[in-house]
């Protein structure tokens, strides 16, 4: 399989291929590698990109329709003068009563903690208070917080956390229609570039790995920020650390989307796009711009510093995975999918090899033969040998 077999080697006009053609083929459905991939016999199936968009939109609709419940969104704060009594709760396992106020227009309620079981409000001074947010049970179950996903103590000393599904689940939640639309546009425009090269399974694995990486970086920076604040006090903070409490939620697909964008930038660095549909920019410059915004916001401790931490974690994972796509092949095997090889599996394996060869040939086109690693040279050499054998030729 040589260079002349690739689509880009036959494109005489740059405007006819690349990103713009990718989008046009995706929307027009004329190409097998578009958003809706055509299968043999004329059957058509949804691409992984479309599947992710549909799932995120469906989760958003269900999240909006479900009745609301209270979920903790802030750490417990002892009331003035009751610090020792609050600390004694853990040692003595004293039963407590929770009393909530009417929610504010933004859905936030203050919950007071009273000593004793079924204590009537107003009869006993509260020991502590915390902010709770009215959200759907779906969001309460999927959102990522350090306390829920990893580890925390309840006021009575009960160990909570270890809800590891949140490392993935938060990536399918969105707080508003605009939030959803921006992330889905990112998948719509950049997803086909990656999926056409990697295939459906690798594409979904890349999205999930980037989502997990976003939560992991958020977790690390949040844990370090909390530890620093406990050691030095609130008067001192370190730029780049997330000093907010462990119940601050992380929500949105942007960690996974940033991974897809950075992977697309690695695969087609010189593709020109229109930033905000106006400003022409190459994909590699867009990648640098997005990373710069995330780092700057983190260092300045801006309003969305936690979200930018997830963006940065997802982007770095996508950038790395695009250079080592073979590591994505075993992602679902890690979760227990160990099927015996079949004819269909052989076809998928051949498709993965072809996608890797495409990536290597693109790299030669952009950076020259000298940029290849030894593994990439071996992959290209083996693919060429296999192609010659199928044609009846020998070395």
Q: Domain check: are 51 and 184 in the same one? A: yes
What's residue 154's pLDDT?
87
Q: How far is Cα 320 from Cα 259, in angstroms, rounded to an integer?
A: 9
Task: Enumerate residues 6+ apart whose C-beta is below 8 A from 45.
Answer: 36, 37, 39
Q: What is the pLDDT of residue 94?
A: 78
Q: Domain residues for 360?
A: 343-390
CA-based nearest residue to 215, from 184, 158, 258: 258
Among 135, 159, 182, where does a domain finish?
135
pTM for the whole thing?
A: 0.76
Does an H or E element contain 281, and which? strand 279-282
State the total domains in the chain: 3
- Residue 79 within any structural domain of the chain: yes
Is 149 contained in some domain? no
Q: Are residue 221 and residue 85 in the same domain, yes or no?
A: no
Domain shared by 103 and 245, yes or no: no
Degrees, nearest 5: CA angle 179-182-185? 145
pLDDT at 352: 64
pLDDT given at position 234? 64
Q: What is the pLDDT of residue 44?
A: 61
pLDDT mean by block of 10 residues, the chain; 395 residues: 37 39 39 40 73 97 96 93 87 84 92 85 85 96 96 86 96 96 95 92 95 97 90 76 90 97 94 82 92 93 90 96 87 55 49 76 77 79 68 46
State the burial class of residue 264 (Cβ atoms within 10 Å of its Cβ: 0-12, 13-18, 19+): buried
Task: Tell whether 234 and 321 lie within a shared domain.
Answer: yes
């Amino acid at each position: 399989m040589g260079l002349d077999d690739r689509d880009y080697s036959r494109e005489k006009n740059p405007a006819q291929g690349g990103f713009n053609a990718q989008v046009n083929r995706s929307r027009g459905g004329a190409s097998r590698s578009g958003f809706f991939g055509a299968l043999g016999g004329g059957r058509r199936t949804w691409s992984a990109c479309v599947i992710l968009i549909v799932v995120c939109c469906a989760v958003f609709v269900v999240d909006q329709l479900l009745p609301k419940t209270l979920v903790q969104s802030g750490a417990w704060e002892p009331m003035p003068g009751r610090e020792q009594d609050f600390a004694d709760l853990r040692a003595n396992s004293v039963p407590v009563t929770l009393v909530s106020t009417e929610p504010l227009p933004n859905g936030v309620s203050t919950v007071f903690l009273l000593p004793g079981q079924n204590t009537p409000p107003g009869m006993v001074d509260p020991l502590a208070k915390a902010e709770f947010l009215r959200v759907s049970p779906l969001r309460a179950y999927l959102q990522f917080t350090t306390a829920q996903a990893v580890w925390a103590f309840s006021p009575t000393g009960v160990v909570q956390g270890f809800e590891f599904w949140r490392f993935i689940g938060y990536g399918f939640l969105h707080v508003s229609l605009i939030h959803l639309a921006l992330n889905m546009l990112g998948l719509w425009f950049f997803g086909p570039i990656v999926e056409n090269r990697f295939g459906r399974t690798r594409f979904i694995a890349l999205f999930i790995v980037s989502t997990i990486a976003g939560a992991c970086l958020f977790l690390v920076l949040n844990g370090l920020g909390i530890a620093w604040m406990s050691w030095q006090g609130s008067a001192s903070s370190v730029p780049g650390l997330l000093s907010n409490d462990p119940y601050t939620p992380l929500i949105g697909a942007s960690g996974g989307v940033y991974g897809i964008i950075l992977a697309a930038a690695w695969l087609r660095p010189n593709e020109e796009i229109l930033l905000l549909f106006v400003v022409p920019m190459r994909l590699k410059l867009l990648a640098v711009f997005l990373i710069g915004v995330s780092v700057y916001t983190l260092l300045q401790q801006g309003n969305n510093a936690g979200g930018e931490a997830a963006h940065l974690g997802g982007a770095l994972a996508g950038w790395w995975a695009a250079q080592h796509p073979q590591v994505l092949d075993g992602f679902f095997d890690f979760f227990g999918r160990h099927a015996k090889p079949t004819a269909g599996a052989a076809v998928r394996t051949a498709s993965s090899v072809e996608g890797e060869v495409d990536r290597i040939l693109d790299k030669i086109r952009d950076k020259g033969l000298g940029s290849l690693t030894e593994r990439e040279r071996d992959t290209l050499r083996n693919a060429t040998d296999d192609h010659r054998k199928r044609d009846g030729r020998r070395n």
